[in-house]
Structure 1
């Protein structure tokens, strides 16, 4: 349950904006997003085992968008020019979104206490375990875990304010 909550909180906005690229009505968008997360919930054990949950999430989103068009007997264009145009626009908007968020995250990281930032970066970027960081800094594993979680919570909460 906790893993699914994390997936939901981490991806709900990305999935919403992804769906909004293909579907226009607000209610329809919300319905499709809900269907995506219902599908992910039904298969959350497989999602938890996946090394690339983002790929699974967006593959599911594409399937649910196609289901939406099928249910409403709409034709989702198979014209190669339109599809490649959509893919290019997706890549451009994804790149812009990632660059904007990366700069926001870098700014938020600079606001963290030095040790919390160091622990977070070592754990997430260098894959150093809590235990190893704790041993190197003569601290308990729980203290390191709390510092890292506090740093992550700060970034998550402030990232949405931009």
Structure 2
């Protein structure tokens, strides 16, 4: 059955159509959420909320619209909300801890640790070869020439992999920083 047919049935309240759409798209919603949330519980909560919202707003769906885009927008908004909730909880915890330990800058340490964890997660999202080149450069501290010899690729290819990786990381770090500050 086509997506368009499923949406028409969903608008009529057909639970089988909803189930089919859920089975077709839950992994995409899950994987997108996983890019930005670290807790499995939070990810599962977002996925559940996305499909609850789909069911609740089924009458507003238009069969000619992009359903994947609709899911993306809902998921993005729920991920943002989850960030805000987590941020507020963490801010509260930091306030309590800073009042107990006024001379220890726990907030800076936690922010740096969170950012490092986020970067590591984003590096794992890079294509395998790009990830390998990036790790050899940044973690093993090899030069472009050493990497090119080790991997039997040109220095220009090494440079291109590093530039692409950095571009990807910068884009995602900007997204991350929007929620931190």
Q: What TM-score bracket applies, with the shorter chain setting the length?
A: 0.3 to 0.5
Which structure is larger by alpha-carbon Rg, 1 or 2? Answer: 2
Q: Considering Cα pairs closer than 8 Å and 6+ residues apart, tell me whether 1 or 2 has the greater RCO.
A: 2
Give the TM-score, by structure 1 length.
0.44
TM-score (norm: length of structure 2): 0.40
